[in-house]
Amino acid sequence: MPKPRTKYVCNQCGAEEVQYFGRCRSCGSWNSLVEELLPPTASGPTRTAIGTVSRSSKQGRSPQKTPQSLVSLTLPEIADHPQVRFSSGYTELDRVLGGGIVPGSLVLIGGDPGIGKSTLLLQTANQLATRYRTLYVCAEESGQQVKLRAQRLGVDGGGTGEAARDASLYLLPEIDLDTIIAELESLRPQVAVIDSIQALYFAALNSAPGSVAQVRECTAALMQVAKREHITLFIVGHVTKEGAIAGPKVLEHLVDTVLYFEGDRFASHRLLRAVKNRFGATNELGVFEMAEQGLAEVLNPSELFLSHRDQETPGTATIVACEGTRPLVVELQALVSPTSYPSPRRTATGFEYNRLQQILAVLEKRVGIPLSKLDAYVASSGGLNVAEPAADLGVAIAVAASFRDRIVDPETVLIGEVGLGGQVRPVAQMELRLREAAKLGFKRAIVPASQAEYPGVNLEMTPVTRVVDAIAAALVGRRVGVEEEQRDERVESITEVESIAE
């Protein structure tokens, strides 16, 4: 088969070239030319011919269909395909997928190098292999490497021999796209894992594996086979330094579901998040823990994020965040100290920087804490990213507690959004959050005034309308740490502030 011809297209201005240039000759942008296959012509080989030969000839279909007159269908005329989801074997993965795997869907899993993508998918493939024919394409590692990992993880790949043919784990160490597609067509697995898309090579393109053109064309070709053969595909994608899945944004548009596997390299927990899902909500969160024997599900993540609560420290407040339908009790820590810089330093770990700035401004203006003279650091425990307004109140209280060297009542959770006027505003899914807090043994919740009536929840409710009231309600006991007089010298307005805040 002669090589299909390719062209280079500028993804800034759309100009076409026959060869690669580092700089677009039309618009002048650098590195914007991307290789593309030429559209099918009568004389040249065509894109639809690639990798689809064996199967389509078996079915007596020609890949180049003769043009048909368009027949439009009304919705009831389209054949029903009831989406009977099946379980991946992991509750956490099923949840993120929207309640199980949709047959024939394409799932892209992105994540930093070494975060555990191969581990997750090998374990999942092993679970699936007890019920389905499963193919694991290891394009990045040799069969031996995968086998070593499999042994460490206790993956046995289902049975062996003829009886196991229908439900078994097959390994294919291969990078050539055509070979992989041929294998998909002959083995016809129900589930296939491609690890990773950046390692695949499509011989029709001149570009190197991992280039935008390769990644895009390989995904498109795999998708065609998957949709035709009704194979569920899990595709691993690497993440660039900027944090996007390497390759064009179109990759994310092609697939049905995009999951990100993330976590702190130095902590053992890993979070699986959906950023796009055609078959479910995108805000669901799955939690795993990485151990020697591989990934284990964490079914009670709140306990994981609270486990560090050994001693009471000023500047710590507990909130209940919600990831999708999943409430998570998370500890927030704040540290404020007099600044030695012309403009004070602020850092937010696991919390949105701009929101922190806003809350600090509210505390300064409405509560009177002189934060423009103080550095402020806020972090969530376990590095969990808390990206919702319901955490505002917790942040505000943690900062205030650190400023006053006081302890927040350890049996209290704080839930509420902080408005610019210093008011505490209602949040979504309050009952869910309260139930989670009660389940974990918290006794009291400080909540927005309009959300204090939940008779079924076993918590003492403290309704507040303003942040100042919440501060007064949350802080307990005497101040600890630095003596008041010393602090007065450093921050002049302190006593004045205390009287406002009290």
Point out which residues bind ligand ATP (CB under 6 A).
111, 113-119, 140, 152, 290, 292
Q: Please give the torsion angle defined by the CA atoms of residues 130, 132, 133 and 138, in that order, rounded to the nearest 10 degrees.
A: -70
Task: Name the binder of 114 from Zn ion, Mg ion, ligand ATP, none, CB < 5-8 A by kind.
Answer: ligand ATP
| C-beta atoms surrounding 363 within 10 Å | 28
Q: Could you say which of 24, 96, 121, 467 contacts Zn ion (CB under 5 A)?
A: 24
Among residues 6 and 381, whose Cβ is nearest to Zn ion?
A: 6
Least gap, CB of 7 to Zn ion (angstroms)? 13
Least gap, CB of 216 to Mg ion (angstroms)? 21
Instruction: Give contact residues for Mg ion (rule: CB under 5 A).
Output: 118
With respect to ligand ATP, which residue has the nearer C-beta, 4 or 111? 111
Rounded to whole angstroms, the Cα distance separating 498 from 368 reads 8
CB of 151 to Mg ion, least distance (A): 16
Q: How far is the CB of 11 from ligand ATP (least distance, A)?
A: 26
45: helix, coil or strand? Answer: coil
| Contact of 332 with 322, CB cutoff 8 Å | no
Sole binder of Zn ion in the list 1, 5, 13, 154 (CB under 5 A): 13
Local structure of residue 75 (DSSP, 8 states): G
Q: Which does 10 bind (CB under 5 to 8 A by kind): ligand ATP, Mg ion, Zn ion, none?
A: Zn ion
- 472 sits near Zn ion (criterion: CB under 5 A): no
The span from the CA of 182 to the CA of 165, in Å, is 18
Report the nearest approach of ligand ATP to the CB of residue 112 (Å): 7
* Residue 26 binding: pick among Mg ion, Zn ion, ligand ATP, none (C-beta 5-8 Å cut-off by kind): Zn ion
- Which of Zn ion, Mg ion, ligand ATP, none sits in contact with 12, Cβ below 5 to 8 A by type? Zn ion
Using the rule CB under 5 A, is 26 a contact of Zn ion? yes
Supply the minimum distance, in Å, between the C-beta of residue 395 and ligand ATP. Answer: 31
For residues 491 and 353, what is the distance between their CA atoms, to the nearest angstrom?
24
7 and 36 in contact (C-beta within 8 Å)?
Answer: yes
Residue 119 binds which of ligand ATP, Zn ion, Mg ion, none (CB < 5-8 A, kind-dependent) = ligand ATP
DSSP state of 478: S
3-state secondary structure of 235: strand
Comparing CB distances to ligand ATP, the nearer of 52 and 124 is 124
**Site stretch for Zn ion (CB under 5 A), options 20-28, 260-268, 394-402, 440-448:** 20-28
Strands annotated E in 38-133: 106-111
Closest distance to ligand ATP from the beta carbon of 288 (Å): 11
Q: Say whether residue 27 binds Zn ion (CB under 5 A).
A: yes
Question: CA dihedral defined by 211, 217, 220, 224, rounded to 10 degrees?
Answer: -140
Beta carbon of residue 9, minimum distance to Zn ion (angstroms, whole number): 9
Contact in structure between 356 and 378 (CB atoms under 8 Å): yes
CA-CA distance, 82 to 103, in Å (whole number)? 10
CB of 466 to Mg ion, least distance (A): 51
Straight-line distance from the first to the last Cα atom of the chain, in angstroms, rounded to the nearest whole number = 82
> With respect to ligand ATP, which residue has the nearer C-beta, 153 or 203?
153
Nearer to ligand ATP, 119 or 232 (CB): 119
Q: How far is the CB of 93 from Zn ion (least distance, A)?
A: 41
CB 462 within 8 A of CB 448: no
Q: How many CA atoms lie within 13 A of 449 on its CB side?
A: 8
> Looking at beta carbons only, is 6 or 198 nearer to Mg ion?
198
290 binds, among ligand ATP, Mg ion, Zn ion, none (CB under 5 to 8 A by kind): ligand ATP
> Cβ neighbours of residue 254 under 8 Å, at least 6 residues apart?
106, 216, 219, 220, 223
Interior angle at CA 181, CA 179 and CA 185, nearest 5: 115
Q: 118 or 207, CB closer to ligand ATP?
A: 118
* 3-state secondary structure (DSSP) of residue 306: helix
Query: How many H-runs (helices) and E-runs (strands) does the chain carry?
Result: 14, 23
Residue whose structure tokens are 């191969």: 118
CA–CA distance, 219 with 384 (Å, rounded to integer): 31
- Give the Cβ contact number of residue 40 at 10 Å: 15
**Nearer Cβ to Mg ion (137/251):** 137
- Alpha-carbon distance 411 to 149, whole Å? 43
Contacted entry of Mg ion, Zn ion, ligand ATP, none for residue 292, CB cut-off 5 to 8 Å set by kind: ligand ATP
In sequence order, what are the beta bridge partners of 176?
201
Nearer to Zn ion, 40 or 248 (CB): 248
Residue 244 interacts with Zn ion (CB under 5 A): yes or no: no
Q: How far is the CB of 10 from Zn ion (least distance, A)?
A: 3
Asked whether position 15 contacts Zn ion by CB under 5 A, the answer is yes
61/152 with CB nearer ligand ATP: 152
Which residues here bind Zn ion, judged by CB under 5 A? 10, 12-13, 15, 24, 26-27
